[in-house]
Structure 1
Amino acid sequence: MKSYFISYEAFKQKGGSIKTTTITYEELLAVLTMHMERLDKQFSLIINGHLPKPLHQILDDAFEQSHLYKAFYTQHCANRSYRYRSLSKNRVKVDFTLSYRMNRKDEKQMLEEVESVLQHITTPNMSSLQKVIAVHDYIVRTYSYELHTKGSPFSVATFMKEKRGVCMAYALLFEKMMEVLQIPCHYVIGKADGEGDAGHAWNMVEIDGQWYHIDVTWDDIGHVFEHHEIRYRYFLLTDEQIAKNHQWDLDLYPPCTSERFNAMHHLYDVCIAGDLLIYPHSKTAYLTAMDPETLQTKKLADIRVQYCTYANGLVYMVNHSDGATLYTFDVETTELTKCSKDQIHAIKKTSSEVVVMYANGKQEMFEIDTGTDDSERAEQTPEFDEARYTIVSMMSLGDSYLATFNSETDDIPAFKSADGVELYINEPIRQLTVSLELNKGIQLQMTTNRKQVQFKKSAKLVLPLSYIELYIPVIEKQLDKKVTVFDKSISIDVSRSLLIQIKNK
């Protein structure tokens, strides 16, 4: 069906705002979107004018089409109800009650994480296509399809916390990342073969003036095929191509007709290396490179490869032409190097390291050089100048530590216990209460007058080296990642407010 509502953008251009409470039925969708963007739970609207159909049908249509604008917010609306009464012949008051799968705290945390991820996986000089590829690959490699989660599998908050969720979470996260990158994108609701009556969600994205379908969920095949985790079969498709197994209301979305990226649809195990995509050739499995802008390809080496993973200027891969052993390919020099004699089971990449898993169960980690310069490291990891801190004794109660700091002036406190646990605060403050627990991972609470404090600069927790075996396992479980200790110390961003360092005391 064609929408009879005016768009969110058109409503704002004519001066409409959240303060507009008396509207026409054509403006209903835009105003509802504004309220859901604010996560408003209760509000009222007065609808003026003759209605072309019963009011309950207009209201249902508005909610059903709410995903067309600000989908990150409107699709987190979990439940809705309304009641209405006539004020006069052509004047109706409607009272709305809504509930959401996220709150303002969830929203803030998600948006902060999205910004952080995008700073890590994209650069300002990337083209729109390169950014779309980077986001597509990040979501597929980082998250898993799973209906059974602790939180709502439809919520992006659950998705980002548990790294599991369903198509709605995949598509909403992709749409939000595109919005932050200022790349036009739609959240699409429809049906797909094999998805049952529950429906399916995917995206449309605009590149160089042309719209394309992209189904990140269906490109994530790691839960189906053990030896593959990403493909491009549903990456930048036309209407005709995706209509073979997807159905949607064509009247609500722009047409997708360009076949520009057809050559990418057969790719798998792709890694992004600068301006190139590097991958196994679909027929020969030879190491191959493609320029995604021109779609020109070239063979890099006559070896059959798998698990192409790029880091530190090198492509890490399994060489099946040499017993499934670990090789690297230097993108700059084109040099091939054999790195092990043992057979490889898989290669994974996290934000900090490349993890090589061998068939014999052994693992090997290669730390990723993030390119952080010395000045950035100095800001992230403050130097310990004892003179700048006011030292406060910290009481130890088994695995728990407690301390309170009070001062008449703004001082920078450092808390120390008799058994070598130290906590350095790197901003001046007059009153601070600290509660630290280590038995269930790093659980730190910092409060002022019973209100939680979030410092702009990272606090730093220092643990004795002897604590490694005792606490690293629970820290790893908390972070859901492997912790590698280099030179008897680690530095990990735990919660945007804490860095950990382990040292020999």
Structure 2
Amino acid sequence: MFKRKLFLPLLPAILIFSLLMPISAPKASAASSDDFLYNSIYNGILHMQSKISLGKYGQESSKITAAYQKVLDNHPEIFYTQYYFQWSPGYFYPKYISSKSEITKMQASLNSKVNAAVKTAKTKKTELERIIYLHDFLVNSTSYDYDHYVKNSLPQSSFTAYGALVSHKAVCDGYAKALRLLLNKAGIWAIKVNGTVSSGDHAWNMVKTGGSYYYIDSTFDDPVTNDRSDVLTYKYLLVPESKLAKDHVWNKSKLPKASSTKYQKLYSLSDFVRYNSSIYYANQNDHKLYRMTLTGSSVTKVDNHPIYSLKIIGSTLYYINLADHNSVYQMKLGGTSKQKIKNTQAGFLSVKGSSLYFYNNVSNKMVKLR
């Protein structure tokens, strides 16, 4: 989360605006001055115009700022304008991050990433599988730009879908824009939602599937760990507003009601991995390894030993066996070929790329296992 301070000087001026103003995402029409501003700015930026005519409606800085804000939220494929802009009565002057030729190359890179991910997502059998695949793709391929965040030196790219999907570094705004772009390209209704959390301004998504609306916070599902290891959680995946409202604040008045708890088993998981349409997890009651479908059905016990820190690389599961002095084990997905691979006091497992690490409780160090 990152809160950007703004100011609004007198005309003519350069306006710095926040990317995290609460909005809904209505479909634009030419029925009002707001819609005229929205359409004018959108079409002008789409064609990379340096001077965009706003006609008689371009007289109020607050309305121009709101329209520009809405364009960027509704069109995450537009990543190539600066946060600030210049304007004079009746005209809008966007500032582009580079030359037209360079931006065209950057667009090609973003489109390539998006199209490849969506192509794979569309091979999934159900819409639910496509949503989860794209959520996981984003979380697994993007890291929160923590280093720049703590230095208060975040680059603009970290607030964009380009930053998340091409540079692989983003903050909440970039995560939310990237997920909207991926889901929309896959034919799934999704919008970006803006609000606040305890640390400041924040952004996430609302999606529609199976006739119901849900929220997804992909930033919170990609927590920053002390050792910077890759972590994927489902705590904010397809959640109702009642759960999200425990630590998020936003304007719900213009948004559809999201009350379904259909995927409670998913967002209640704490120690799990996904392989295609199956979830492997440590049951919170007996800590034993189970398997279920994405909808929480067909629950099957895979192994009788209590486990902890479940990980997956390829089609092999790794875990700490609590019944064997916290030794590290591996097994195939069906529960076969189980074997001890490290006789040690392991605190937890960690995956970085395709490598497996464990925390050695004796030396208090992370050790590469394979």
Larger Rg: 1
C-alpha contact 2:263 2:296 (8 A) present in aligned 1? no
Which of the numbers 358, 361, 368 marks the counterpart of 1:363?
A: 368
C-alpha contact 1:4 1:26 (8 A) present in aligned 2? no
Aligned to 1:242: 244
Q: Which runs of 5+ in 1 are unaligned?
A: 15-22, 85-93, 366-505
CA positional deviation for 1:127: 1.6
Instruction: Specify the code of the residue in structure 2 equivalent to 1:175.
Output: R
- Per the alignment, do residues 160 and 275 of structure 1 end up closer, same or farther by CA in structure 2, a change over 3 Å counting? closer
Aligned to 1:395: none
- Per the alignment, do residues 80 and 296 of structure 1 end up closer, same or farther by CA in structure 2, a change over 3 Å counting? farther
Alpha-carbon displacement from aligned partner over 1:35-54 (angstroms, at most 9, x marks no partner):
33444443213247xx9xx7
Which structure 2 residues correspond to residues 17-28 of structure 1 after superposition, within 5 A? 24-28=33-37
Say yes or no: does 1:268 pair with 2:270. Answer: yes
Cα distance in 2 for residues equivalent to 1:4 and 1:226: 34
Q: Which runs of 5+ in 2 are unaligned?
A: 1-20
Aligned to 2:139: 140
Alpha-carbon displacement from aligned partner over 1:172-199 (angstroms, at most 9, x marks no partner):
221122122221111111112x223xx1
By relative contact order (CA 8 Å, sep 6+), the higher-ranking structure is 2
- Per the alignment, do residues 294 and 55 of structure 1 end up closer, same or farther by CA in structure 2, a change over 3 Å counting? same
Instruction: Specify the code of the residue in structure 2 equivalent to 1:141.
Output: N
Identical aligned residues as a percent: 18
C-alpha contact 1:188 1:201 (8 A) present in aligned 2? yes
Alpha-carbon displacement from aligned partner over 1:132-160 (angstroms, at most 9, x marks no partner):
22222233333332115674332344444
Aligned to 2:327: 325
Which structure 2 residues correspond to residues 52-201 of structure 1 after superposition, within 5 A? 55-73=60-78, 77-84=82-89, 94-100=90-96, 103-119=103-119, 122=121, 124-145=123-144, 146=146, 147=149, 148=151, 151-152=155-156, 153-160=158-165, 163-192=168-197, 194-196=198-200, 199-201=201-203
CA positional deviation for 1:246: 1.5
Cα distance in 1 for residues equivalent to 2:288 and 2:204: 32
SS in 2 for 1:66: helix
Alpha-carbon displacement from aligned partner over 1:468-502 (angstroms, at most 9, x marks no partner):
xxxxxxxxxxxxxxxxxxxxxxxxxxxxxxxxxxx
Cα distance in 2 for residues equivalent to 1:215 and 1:27: 31
Instruction: Specify the code of the residue in structure 2 equivalent to 1:335.
Output: T
TM-score where L is the length of structure 2: 0.76
Alpha-carbon displacement from aligned partner over 1:422-471 (angstroms, at most 9, x marks no partner):
xxxxxxxxxxxxxxxxxxxxxxxxxxxxxxxxxxxxxxxxxxxxxxxxxx
Cα distance in 2 for residues equivalent to 1:123 and 1:25: 36
SS in 2 for 1:244: coil
CA positional deviation for 1:329: 3.2
TM-score where L is the length of structure 1: 0.58
Q: Which has the higher strand share?
A: 1
Instruction: Specify the code of the residue in structure 1 equivalent to 2:199.
Output: E
C-alpha contact 2:190 2:206 (8 A) present in aligned 1? yes
- Per the alignment, do residues 44 and 179 of structure 1 end up closer, same or farther by CA in structure 2, a change over 3 Å counting? same
C-alpha contact 1:83 1:95 (8 A) present in aligned 2? yes
Aligned to 2:342: 341
Aligned to 1:32: 41
Cα distance in 1 for residues equivalent to 2:206 and 2:122: 22
Cα distance in 1 for residues equivalent to 2:279 and 2:108: 34
- Per the alignment, do residues 249 and 229 of structure 1 end up closer, same or farther by CA in structure 2, a change over 3 Å counting? same
**Count of aligned positions:** 334
SS in 2 for 1:217: coil
